[in-house]
Amino acid sequence: MNRSHGHRAPSGRVAYVSGRYLPHAQAGVHIEDRGLQFADAVYEVCAVLDGRLTDEPGHTERLERSLGALNMPMPMSPAALALVMREMVRRNRLKNGMLYLQVTRGAYRRDHAMQANPKLSVIMTARAIDIDAIGKRRSEGVAVIALPDLRWKRCDIKTTGLLANAMAKTEARKRGAFEAWLIDSDGMVTEGSSSNAWIVTGDGVLVTRNLSSTILAGVTRAGVLAALKSGAGTGVEERPFSIAEAVAAKEAFMTSASGGVLPVVSIDGREIGNGKPGPMTQKAHALYSKLDQSSTAP
- Residue 169 a catalytic site member: no
Asked if residue 104 binds ligand PDD (CB under 6 A), the reply is: no
Q: Count of residues binding ligand PDD (CB under 6 A)?
A: 15
Q: How far is the CB of 108 from ligand PDD (least distance, A)?
A: 26
Span from 10-18, 79-87, 172-180, 252-260 in contact with ligand PDD (CB under 6 A): 252-260
Span from 16-24, 31-39, 111-119, 217-225 in contact with ligand PDD (CB under 6 A): 217-225
Q: Which of 206, 194, 179 is nearest to 268 (CA)?
A: 179
Asked if residue 264 binds ligand PDD (CB under 6 A), the reply is: no
Q: How far is the CB of 190 from ligand PDD (least distance, A)?
A: 9
Among 102, 125, 196, 266, binds ligand PDD (CB under 6 A): 196
Among 54, 104, 256, 281, binds ligand PDD (CB under 6 A): 256
3-state secondary structure the chain: CCCCCCCCCCCCCEEEECCEEEEHHHCCCCCCEHHHHHCCEEEEEEEEECCEECCHHHHHHHHHHHHHHCCCCCCCCHHHHHHHHHHHHHHCCCCCEEEEEEEECCECCCCCCCCCCCCCEEEEEEEECCHHHHHHHHHHCEEEEEEECCCCCCCCCCECCCHHHHHHHHHHHHCCCCEEEEECCCCEEEEECCCEEEEECCCCCEEECCCCCCCCCCHHHHHHHHHHHHCCCCCEEECCCEHHHHHCCCEEEEEECCCEEEEEEEECCEECCCCCCCHHHHHHHHHHHHHHHHHCCC
Q: How many CB atoms lie within 10 A of CB 192?
A: 28
Asked if residue 218 binds ligand PDD (CB under 6 A), the reply is: yes
Binding mask 15-54 for ligand PDD (x = CB under 6 A): ------------------------------x---------
Among 125, 214, 220, 266, binds ligand PDD (CB under 6 A): 220
Q: How far is the CB of 238 from ligand PDD (least distance, A)?
A: 15
- By CB under 6 A, the residues from 131 to 190 that bind ligand PDD are 165
Decide whether 9 or 297 has the Cβ nearer to ligand PDD: 297
Asked if residue 292 binds ligand PDD (CB under 6 A), the reply is: no
Asked if residue 194 binds ligand PDD (CB under 6 A), the reply is: yes
Residues that bind ligand PDD (CB under 6 A): 45, 165, 191, 194-196, 216, 218-221, 255-258
Show which residues are catalytic.
158
